[in-house]
Amino acid sequence: MGKSLTPFRRKDAVPHEKLFPLPLRERPVLSAVEGVRVRGVVGRSHPHQSIGLRLSLWTSFALIGFMLAAFAAGAGPLDSPGAQKSLVCSACHGFAGNSPGNTMPILAGINAAYFKKAIKDYAEGKRTSPEMEPYAKYVMHFGVDDIAGYFAAQKKQPAKVKADPKAISRGATLATQCVQCHGASGEGDTDKVIPALRGQAAGFVQAQLALFKENKRKPEDAVLDENKKRILKGLDDNDFADLREVC
Amino acid sequence: MQNLTRRNFLKASGLGAALWGVGGMRSFAAEARRKVIVIGGGWGGATAAKYIRLTDPSIEVTLLEPNKEFISCPFSNLVLAGVESLKNLTLNYNGLRKHGVKIRHEAAAAIEPDKRRVRVGKDSLEYDRLIVSPGVDLQWEQIEGLAAAKDTVLHAWKAGPQTVQLAKQIQSMADGGVIVMTVPPVAYRCPPGPYERASMIAWYLKTKKPKSKLIVFDANKDIVSKTGLFKAVFKDYAANIDYRPAQKAEKIDIGAKEVTTDTGDKVKYDVVNVIPPQRAGAIAVEADLVGGDKRWCEVDHVTYESVKQKNIHVIGDATIGLPVPKSGNVANAMGKICATAVVSLLNGKEPPVLAPGNTCYSWVNDKEAIAVVNAYKIENGKVVQIEQKLTPSKSVAVAQNSLAWRASIWNDMLG
């Protein structure tokens, strides 16, 4: 019962607390702003002002104070256009791009230029994914710059990796060829628009390796294509399974 | 002194102005504690409640949901075939509490739009904005004999005890038996759901009870969703599945164990699964949120505010008029967009113009799945589809993606 499903469940699913590190701004924000405003106004009110004027001033300041408080309270983590336009993405890619799923890539902290290239490729059908093609068109329509900027600014949450140490060791040996481009610890290269692999969802990495090997995903750069082919030629599914654990 | 109004007292008092100021501010601030009530803790309501708190924690959010646990309808068809357990589909509401959502495990008794109140038991709860995510109610009376037999003729269309009972009935049926399943006319919850269910039951019969048959009476002219993909799957199960489109179940006789359709066909069954016609949850009908059809709720496509009642928003399966399926993913997207709109409106801002998305997986055997994905935009204030894409065929990779999807979206709703 259900056992056939478990191998694909991510072992290192990010706990909820880590997904929502943003401190919830509690009620005191409102009362603190309100308190400051009230005291400030009392000090500055002129002794000869009529009660009526004073009251209307009071009302105005109270309103301003309230509006400031409301604004402070309303300026939540989802107030930027990029955050709002990315709301649909969290169904698969997790809150703030920290996907808890094994085969869905983590977008938090992604290189913005690489994100934009990926979206463009998906939208144009150069990278085939029935899931991503429509959403890539959504992103292009609503504004790829806003959305790329939002995900690039999010912090990638370190996943608790519980992979088999032997698989990591084998994968690390195989990965020595990857580091030339993707960096010594898989951090990627922003200037060359090379994606970071460190901390990426393992199942996603494995699936992409297979796509490259089957020539279903090309970097569109002859030299890169040749390099990928050369590196991946001698590797099989077991190697990919080991490699994914290194990320 | 009895004529002394507050204002006069303040004018007469040396400290009056200051006192009024402080007192006035306090009461103003107390009034400013804005309240949102969410009715229904499913895919739409739970998401909306959480995202309001995430976006603006100064807003008080109360969620009314009678069930103490959430059980996912997506993946419940796998339980019928014995490849998934209901336990894996059951989640709690603790995550929402951590976000500061006040949860009352009670059903809303009535909505009073004029007074901006919701009655719950003996209480009347006030709201500035109300989000209604009532899901669907099953219309038993539409099929003769069903209302009287609704405890024994299972729908299993709301995941829970009925899912487990139907699984037991199917699994304890002798080889050579006949299962009859009926599909209601559109619109109903989860367009591909009946066909995923038919596929999973047929897979179970093919592998475990090869002499048995599943007869599907579909009130619709053809398979409603993922049509080509399901047709290919049904071909694989040709020996165990008998799909009969454009035949609406009209009568059920539990004594004779017989289903009669509108074409006059009568079929005897060993196990029956009737998915009744549906409409928006009763609370939406009673509060007059439904349109002329008395079934579904029309809403603004950007804010999800009801076209019939101000300050009341409706999301999820209960809505109509948007070119989107009644799916969990769409309800989740509506929940987030509606939350953003409600927070904007309560803060005197223009709600952002956002569109939902739909990612919908259907399993067809114990390892493989198919999918349909829809992206939308807003044009002239209305939701318009940008593109729909289907997976080319069934595959293990798509099934794995569905598991990643569920881990993510369950966390998005309840984590």
A85 neighbourhood in chain B, CB within 8 Å:
352, 354
Give the whole-number percent of chain A exceeding pLDDT 70.
68
Structure tokens at B28: 């103003």
Which CATH topology does B6-137+279-352 take?
Answer: FAD/NAD(P)-binding domain (3.50.50)
Tell me: pLDDT of A57 over 60: no
Q: Which residue has the higher pLDDT, A246 or B186?
A: B186
Position A157 scores a pLDDT of 86
Best of B171, B408, B409, B413 to disrupt the A interface (most A CBs within 10 Å) is B408
Give the dihedral of Cα atoms B231, B237, B238, B243; nearest 10 deg.
Answer: -60
pLDDT digits (tens, 9 = 90+) for B134-166: 999 999 999 999 999 999 999 999 999 999 999
pLDDT digits (tens, 9 = 90+) for A102-149: 899 999 999 999 999 999 999 999 999 999 999 999 999 999 999 999
A237 neighbourhood in chain B, CB within 8 Å:
none
pLDDT digits (tens, 9 = 90+) for B353-388: 999 999 999 999 999 999 999 999 999 999 999 999
pLDDT digits (tens, 9 = 90+) for B311-349: 999 999 999 999 999 999 999 999 999 999 999 999 999
> What ipTM was assigned to the predicted interfaces of this complex?
0.91
Q: Considering only alpha carbons, which residue of chain A is nearest residue B375?
A: A134
Position A9 scores a pLDDT of 35
β-sheet bridge partners, residue B382:
B379
CB contact under 8 A, A88 and B348: no
pLDDT confidence bin for B32, thresholds 50/70/90: low
Same CATH topology for B6-137+279-352 and B140-276?
Answer: yes
Position A126 scores a pLDDT of 92
Q: Considering only alpha carbons, which residue of chain A is nearest residue B360?
A: A131
Position A244 scores a pLDDT of 86
pLDDT confidence bin for B391, thresholds 50/70/90: very high
Q: Which of A1, A79, A92 sits opposite B82 (nearest CB)?
A: A1
CB contact under 8 A, A38 and B25: yes
pLDDT digits (tens, 9 = 90+) for A59-102: 555 545 444 444 444 445 678 999 999 999 999 999 999 999 98
Position A222 scores a pLDDT of 84
Superfamily of domain B140-276: FAD/NAD(P)-binding domain (3.50.50.60)
- Report chain B's mean pLDDT, rounded to a whole number: 93
CB contact under 8 A, B408 and A91: yes
Min Cα–Cα distance to chain B from A197, Å: 18
Position B281 scores a pLDDT of 98
For the domain spanning A161-247, the CATH number is 1.10.760.10
- Report chain A's mean pLDDT, rounded to a whole number: 74
CB contact under 8 A, B386 and A141: yes
Position A76 scores a pLDDT of 58
Residue with tokens 């309270």: A73
Min Cα–Cα distance to chain B from A110, Å: 18
A78 neighbourhood in chain B, CB within 8 Å:
51, 54-55, 340
For the domain made up of A77-156, the CATH class stated in words is: mainly alpha
Position A50 scores a pLDDT of 44
CB contact under 8 A, B409 and A20: no
Position B171 scores a pLDDT of 96
pLDDT digits (tens, 9 = 90+) for B340-357: 999 999 999 999 999 999
In 3D space, the residue among B193, B173, B236 whose CA is nearest the CA of residue B77 turns out to be: B193
A203 neighbourhood in chain B, CB within 8 Å:
400, 404
B19 neighbourhood in chain A, CB within 8 Å:
none
| Structural domain boundaries in chain B | 6-137+279-352, 140-276
A201 neighbourhood in chain B, CB within 8 Å:
404
Give me Rg for the CA atoms of chain A. 25
Taking the C-alpha atoms of residue A30 and residue B32, their distance in angstroms, rounded to an integer, is: 10
Q: Which residue has the higher pLDDT, A40 or B299?
A: B299
Q: Considering only alpha carbons, which residue of chain A is nearest residue B18?
A: A42
Average pLDDT estimate for B13-35? 51
CB contact under 8 A, A203 and B404: yes
Position A188 scores a pLDDT of 94
CB contact under 8 A, A74 and B347: yes
pLDDT digits (tens, 9 = 90+) for A162-198: 788 899 888 988 898 899 899 998 999 999 999 999 8
Min Cα–Cα distance to chain A from B292, Å: 31
Min Cα–Cα distance to chain B from A191, Å: 31
CB contact under 8 A, B88 and A102: no
Q: Which residue has the higher pLDDT, A65 or B71?
A: B71
Position A245 scores a pLDDT of 84
Give the whole-number percent of chain A exceeding pLDDT 90.
40
Residue range(s) in chain A whose domain bears CATH number 1.10.760.10: 77-156, 161-247
Lowest mean pLDDT among A43-47, A238-242, B75-79: A43-47
